[in-house]
C-alpha cells in the first residue's frame, strides 16, 4: 500500500494525489469526481518528429466503420458525430491503432455536463486521444498528432485546446512533450442528477440539477503568448 501511494505521489504530485485520494473516498459515498487540467497546444507546420511506420490515416464517418473493440459507448460516439465532431484514425492494416477527435467552435463535454467555447476562429478543441494499449510504445500517438497538425494547419488553426484527466500522468506528459500551455483546471462532483463544478476560471462555481443546465467555460487562445507558441513550435 505504501509503495502504491509513493508511486501515485511521484506520478501526480502532491496536489493531484490529494484530489485523487478524495475522489476514491467520495466514490464510497456514491459521489463521482472528475478533475481536469486544460491545456492548449500550438499547431505547428511539419512533423513533430520522424515517425516511420506502416500506419494508414483515414477518418471514420459512421458508427458502422468503428470496430466493435473501440472502448467507447456507441451513443457517445453518435453524439460526437451529431455535433459535428471530426476524427483522425490510425490503422495498421484493418486494425484500429488509435483515434483522435477534434471539434471546431464549441464542444459539449460527454463525460460531465459542460460546454467548452472557443471564440477564436484560429482554435479548435481536441479530445479523447485513444491509442490501443498494445501499440502505445509505437508511433501511433505521434502519427495521429502529425496528421492533426497537417489538417488543422490547412484550416488556419493556430491552437488546439484539450482537457486531460489530472489523474492521467501519461497523457499529461504526452501533451507536455508537444508544447502544451496550461489554461486552468476544473473539478466536477456528481451525485444523481446534481452536479457541482469548481474551476480556476469563470464561472468558477456552478451547481446544476439536470441535463438542461451546464456551465460554459471560455478558452480564448488570442490571450496566449504568440512568442511562447513560436518558441515551442521551433
CATH number of the domain at 103, please: 3.40.630.30
Residue 206 lies in a domain: yes
Query: Of 2 and 150, which is predicted with more confidence?
Result: 150
The predicted pLDDT at position 10 comes to: 57
Residue 2 lies in a domain: no
End-to-end CA distance of the chain: 43
Cis peptide before 49 (omega within 30 of 0): no
Residue 96 lies in a domain: yes
Give residue 193's domain range.
7-233
Q: What is the pTM of this model?
A: 0.83
| Whether pLDDT at 99 is above 90 | yes
CA distance 152 to 125: 11
Confidence of residue 233 (pLDDT cuts 50, 70, 90): very low
Confidence of residue 224 (pLDDT cuts 50, 70, 90): confident
The total number of structural domains that make up the chain: 1
**Bridge partner list, 124:** 104, 160
Residue 1 lies in a domain: no
Burial code of 168-201, b = ≥16 C-beta within 10 A, e = fewer? Answer: bbebbebbeebbbbebebbbbbbeeeebebebee
| Whether pLDDT at 81 is above 70 | yes
For the beta carbon of residue 116, count every other beta carbon within 10 angstroms: 22
| Whether pLDDT at 183 is above 50 | yes
Average the pLDDT over each of 161-165, 177-181, 217-221 and give the range with the smallest value.
177-181
Amino acid at each position: 500500500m505504501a509503495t502504491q501511494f509513493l508511486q501515485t505521489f511521484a506520478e501526480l504530485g502532491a496536489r493531484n494525489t490529494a484530489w485523487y485520494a478524495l475522489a476514491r473516498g467520495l466514490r464510497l459515498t456514491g459521489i463521482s469526481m472528475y478533475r481536469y487540467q486544460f491545456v492548449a497546444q500550438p499547431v505547428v507546420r511539419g512533423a513533430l518528429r520522424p515517425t516511420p511506420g506502416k500506419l494508414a490515416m483515414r477518418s471514420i464517418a459512421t458508427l458502422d466503420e468503428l470496430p466493435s473493440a473501440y472502448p467507447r459507448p456507441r451513443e457517445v460516439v453518435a453524439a460526437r458525430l451529431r455535433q459535428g465532431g471530426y476524427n483522425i484514425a490510425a490503422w495498421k492494416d484493418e486494425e484500429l491503432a488509435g483515434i483522435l477527435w477534434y471539434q471546431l467552435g464549441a464542444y459539449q463535454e460527454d463525460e460531465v455536463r459542460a460546454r467548452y467555447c472557443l471564440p477564436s476562429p484560429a482554435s479548435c478543441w481536441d479530445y479523447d486521444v485513444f491509442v490501443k494499449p498494445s501499440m502505445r510504445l509505437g508511433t501511433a500517438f505521434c502519427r495521429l498528432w502529425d496528421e492533426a497538425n497537417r489538417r488543422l494547419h490547412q484550416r488556419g488553426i493556430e491552437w488546439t485546446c484539450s482537457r486531460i484527466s489530472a489523474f492521467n500522468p501519461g497523457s499529461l506528459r504526452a501533451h507536455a512533450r508537444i508544447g502544451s500551455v496550461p489554461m486552468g483546471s476544473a473539478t466536477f462532483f456528481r451525485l444523481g442528477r446534481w452536479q457541482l463544478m469548481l474551476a480556476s476560471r469563470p464561472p468558477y462555481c456552478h451547481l446544476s440539477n439536470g441535463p438542461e443546465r451546464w456551465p460554459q467555460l471560455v478558452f480564448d487562445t488570442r490571450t496566449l503568448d504568440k512568442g511562447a507558441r513560436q518558441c515551442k513550435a521551433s
